[in-house]
Structure 1
Amino acid sequence: MSSSAVAVASPVISVDTKRKPSAVLGFMAGGIAACGAVTLTNPAEVIKTRLQLQGELMKQAPGSKRIYTNFAQAFAHIAKHEGIRGLQRGLGSAYMYQIMMNGTRLGLYDPIKYSIHSLLKTDPTKNNNLVNIAAGGTGGVLSAALASPLFLVKTRLQSYTSHEASRVGHQHYYKHSFDALRSIYKAEGLRGIYRGVDASMMRTGAGSSVQLPLYDVVKQRLIKVGGLENGALCHGLSSLISGFFLCIVMNPFDIISTRMFNQAPDPLTGRGGMLYKSPVDCLVKTVRAEGIQALYKGFTAHYLRIGPHTIFTFVFMEQVKALFERLSLY
């Protein structure tokens, strides 16, 4: 996932003046940047999803074999049995999800921050960590609520494989993203389309409240203390550091979201979930069956996805924003 930019020095969604930032242009810049990033990082997302579903609600017996043992082995296994199509499963829905989620999240970050400063009558050009956390969290929750159906579809498409020896979790077969949305709505209604939205909102809200403000702080410190120029190296290091802490905070929420999204409806009623009633129920059952360490399944794959994705998104977004500025759109 990706993030936004800094309050003073960053050109991502600038608040260098007291003019309110444009949410529309922020949405466009965020969506374009995130789509570029996800093209490169989607294979890591596929691997993360399968690692998180592997051994669901099962106690791992000592010495027992697993299909996927680590990131490198999982990459090689999927590439061997499913090819590039397997590694890029769900890419179409990932594009739609990135546009909706990151476009909204990145586009709203500085406008929300500006509005909070206006409400508090404080200077929007001065960094305020509490305001940044509130703006990041609010934007994250709103974007997750809008994009949750696409995250649902993406998770199910990425977990599916026609190679029987590679299957983990419940297998949902859909021809493509729109077929998935149509099939889910037909079988489960609007409730099915928004299955797991509460888990998704907690996941993205928690992640955004950490990543966006932390990117601000790290970038400013690298410029002021580290002496780095406000360029690609500074953006990349800031993204890498904020992405690591984001992964620590988000991984438990990500596990819950993945499992909530991938569970199957009750075969008798067509409603509800066979495994989990709510995110809390999912958390309790997962820890009870697999131990607290289960909340960090797929952590390496998660970071190898989030770290590069964050870097690519921020770097792409800096460039898109700079282009908008040259075209006098901002």
Structure 2
Amino acid sequence: MTDNTKRVGRWYFGGIASAMAACCTHPLDLLKVHLQTQQLEKVKATTLVVRILKTDGVLGLYNGLSASICRQLTYSMTRFAMYETVKKNLTQDGGTMPFYQKVLTAAVSGATGGLVGTPADLVNVRMQNDVKLPPDQRRNYKHAFDGLWKVYRNEGVPQLFGGATMASSRAVLVTVGQLAGYDQIKQLMMLTGVFEDNIVLHLTCSTLAGCLATLLTQPLDVMKTRMMNAKPGTYAGVSACAMDIAKNGPIGFFKGFIPAFVRLGPHTVFTFIFFEQLRLNFGDFKEDLAKKE
């Protein structure tokens, strides 16, 4: 009988799993963006949900879903592909990567993925924020590609990568928390002999990895969202954005923390459960990879 636990993930599994997870958690991501882009008006999460449902109906909670999927197929596809490829090459002899190698690989993969995914991330934030704006102030992007084209045509290529530094910095932290954290936690839990490579282990490890990623990324996530949603010229740079947020005190950097945790936690869990199921059912066997070498 074939031992599926010996399978390893293919380079594109992470992007597919992340896109599937985005479909499950998009309303939470939309709520997080709304809370982070608030300025003068302070509205509770429950009030925002009621307002969206009254104004745009249930579909309003999925505004910008196409951009969210596009982002995962660029950002997450890149970071997972790089991380899994390096991991596969360094563990062909059956060994494991030291923790520092996992962190370094995740950091480089995250930075690259953050840069590649910035245009889709920009459109994603704008489409989600459109729901709370008055109809005459909305950008009204029809879908992700329409948004990308309009930003390119009206604002130029530089604006497509507006906030790229912040996005890449955030991606480094979230990828270290998610990928390196997940791998290390899974490795340590497997060594106890109590856990098997099954959905219970995947659920436990992904939940802990989601907690770690949220803790590392929240301050940068708030600044990234604020910069991407701002009109051109609003902020001279990251420091200017940070100073503006700091006017509300340290708590300003953690605005929307609970929705961010509620969103990133389930997103991380869904991503790794989908990823592990893809690996266990469709992944390459380690022995086959060794023969190819």
Q: TM-score normalised to the size of structure 2?
A: 0.88
Does residue 77 (structure 1) correspond to residue 51 (structure 2)? The answer is: yes
Distance change in 2, residues 1:207/1:260 (3 Å): same
Give 1:182's aligned residue.
149
Q: Report the CA distance shift for 1:127/1:247 in structure 2 as closer, same or farther (over 3 A).
A: same
- The yes-or-no answer on 1:216 pairing with 2:183 is yes
Distance 1:102 1:41 in 2: 15
Counterpart contact for 1:12–1:318, Cα < 8 Å: no
Name the SS of the counterpart of 1:277 in structure 2.
Answer: coil
* Aligned twin of 1:45: 29
The answer for the alignment partner of 1:254 in structure 2 is 221
Question: 103, 119, 126: which is aligned to 1:133?
Answer: 103
Alignment root-mean-square deviation, CA: 2.6
Residue of structure 2 aligned with 1:153, choices 115, 118, 123:
123
Q: CA deviation at 1:327?
A: 9.4
Which of 198, 202, 211 is the aligned partner of 1:244?
211
C-alpha spacing 1:124/1:52, structure 2 compared with 1 (3 Å): farther
In structure 2, the residue matched to 1:297 is: 255
Q: Which amino acid aligns with 1:144?
A: G
Equivalent residue, structure 2, for 1:36: 20
The answer to whether the 8 Å contact 1:41/1:308 transfers is: yes
Contact 2:178–2:210 (CA under 8 A) maintained in structure 1: yes
Q: What are the Cα deviations for residues 260-309 of structure 1, in whole angstroms up to 9, with x where unaligned?
A: 111112xxxxxxx22x111222112211x211111111111111111111
Amino acid at match of 1:207: V
Q: CA deviation at 1:38?
A: 0.7
Query: Any residues of structure 2 matched to 1:1-330 within 5 Å, and which?
Result: 13=9, 25-27=10-12, 29-55=13-39, 58=40, 66=42, 68-70=43-45, 72-113=46-87, 117=90, 125-161=95-131, 164=134, 171-225=138-192, 227-265=194-232, 273-274=233-234, 276-287=235-246, 289-325=247-283
Contact 2:25 2:266 in 1 (8 A): yes
Equivalent pairs, count: 284
* In 1, Cα distance between equivalents of 2:242 and 2:86: 31
Give every structure 1 segment of 4 or more consecutive aligned residues whose post-TM-superposition deviation is greater than 6 Å.
326-330
Q: Distance in 2 between matches of 1:110 and 1:326?
A: 12
- TM-score norm. by structure 1 comes to 0.79
Cα distance between partner residues in 2 of 1:216 and 1:161: 37
Shift of 1:126: 2.3
Greater helix share, structure number? 2
Instruction: Flag structure 1 segments of 5+ consecutive residues without an equivalent.
Output: 1-8, 14-24, 59-64, 266-272
